[in-house]
Structure 1
Amino acid sequence: MINPFKKSYTSKELNTFRFLSRIPLFERLDYKEMSYFLPYFYLREYKMNEVVFFRNDPGNALYLVKSGKISVNIDIDEEFEQLSVIKSGESFGESALLTVSNRIYTAIVHSERAELYVLPKVNIHEIFEGHPVIKTKMMESLSVLYHTYMVNLFKGYKSSLGLFNLSQVFGG
């Protein structure tokens, strides 16, 4: 039976939901849950080599790459070492989901242009306060993401034994 009171979405909203569904932090959410974020996304354009944020900046927003590429770098003695390149349909700046956090890397535009959806931390936490199920789902996704980073760190360590002291990573 068709529910005449069920919320219907515009084609633009449906396209946004499909985009969000490809991003690991949002993939556990249904369309209704995703809809709470829609009023808070704003699209920002960047140019080649423009810095999105620096290491140690406050984690004030989550970024979703609509188009272009973002280079994620750590700075070592005034030089940048690239950790990865974030592409369309991916996110970065996940520390914005945490209550208190600073950036642990620098993000720089790595293509001629990049379009990023910016989701302010204050709005993320406002949604989390009103919708604890959304918070739980997104924090589960964040945990999986960080677990994947740890697995990759361990693989890298095993193949490069002796280059760094892993006990420093875990406070030992």
Structure 2
Amino acid sequence: MRNPFSKTYTPEEHEMFDFLSQIKFFERMKNKEMARFIPAMHHRKYKRDEVVFFSKDPSQALYLVKNGQISLTIDVRDNFETIMEINKGEAFGENSLLENTKRTYTAIIVSEEADLIVIPHFALQEVFDSNPKIKAKVMTSLAEYYNQNNQRLFRSYRESFGFFSLRQMFE
């Protein structure tokens, strides 16, 4: 039997929970935990070639892709080199989950249009400050995400040996 005092959610909220549960940083959360983020979410539409943010900008929000494709690029000698394509059901701007960070890449819309959900950094921090369990779940997912990126970086380095020195990472 269902607890008569437990919160019930609207069909729209359940749809949002289904969406969020597919995203790396929300995958460990229960519906009531994901619900804490809903009031902070802003829906934004972007057009092809629009820049969501530039490298070195302050990391002010996490972006969730409802529809569209985003290219994450780095500046290499006056050119933008794509490091990753982000699609529906994925997130980017993940370093906004940390405090006092700057963007490490530029995010550009490459599809005709993109629908993004934006969660501001200050709202993320408010949820984290009031619920350490949620913060622990998100930080665990973030650590896994960065670990996967390191594995890809090192694999790429091994495959292209000689183009750069890994030692430079730590200087």
Aligned position for 1:97: 97
- Correspondence 1:85 to 2:105: no
Q: Distance in 2 between matches of 1:109 and 1:52?
A: 7
Q: Distance in 2 between matches of 1:96 and 1:2?
A: 37
* Structure 2 unmatched ranges of 5 or more: none
Please give the TM-score of this superposition, normalised by the length of structure 1: 0.98
Look up the equivalent residue of 1:146 and give its one-letter code.
Y
Alignment deviations for residues 125-150 of structure 1 (CA, whole Å, 9 cap, x no partner): 00000000000000000000000000
The 5-angstrom pairing of residues 15-164 of structure 1 reads 15-164=15-164
Q: Distance in 2 between matches of 1:106 and 1:151?
A: 22
Please give the TM-score of this superposition, normalised by the length of structure 2: 0.99
Look up the equivalent residue of 1:63 and give its one-letter code.
Y
Alignment deviations for residues 101-121 of structure 1 (CA, whole Å, 9 cap, x no partner): 000000000100000000000
Q: Distance in 2 between matches of 1:78 and 1:166?
A: 22
Q: Distance in 1 between matches of 2:48 and 2:117?
A: 17
- Any runs of at least 4 consecutive aligned residues in structure 1 with deviations exceeding 2 A, and if so which? none
Q: Distance in 1 between matches of 2:67 and 2:143?
A: 26
Look up the equivalent residue of 1:95 and give its one-letter code.
N
Aligned position for 1:13: 13
Deviation of 1:2 after TM superposition, in Å, equals 2.3
Paired residue total: 171
Alignment deviations for residues 30-81 of structure 1 (CA, whole Å, 9 cap, x no partner): 1000000000001000000000000000000000000000000001121100
RMSD (CA atoms): 0.6
Look up the equivalent residue of 1:170 and give its one-letter code.
F
Look up the equivalent residue of 1:99 and give its one-letter code.
E
Look up the equivalent residue of 2:97 and give its one-letter code.
L
- My pick for the range that moved more, 76-85 or 11-20, is 76-85
Q: Distance in 1 between matches of 2:127 and 2:154?
A: 34
Q: Distance in 2 between matches of 1:15 and 1:169?
A: 42
Alignment deviations for residues 77-109 of structure 1 (CA, whole Å, 9 cap, x no partner): 211000111000000000110011000000000
Q: Percent sequence identity over matched residues?
A: 48
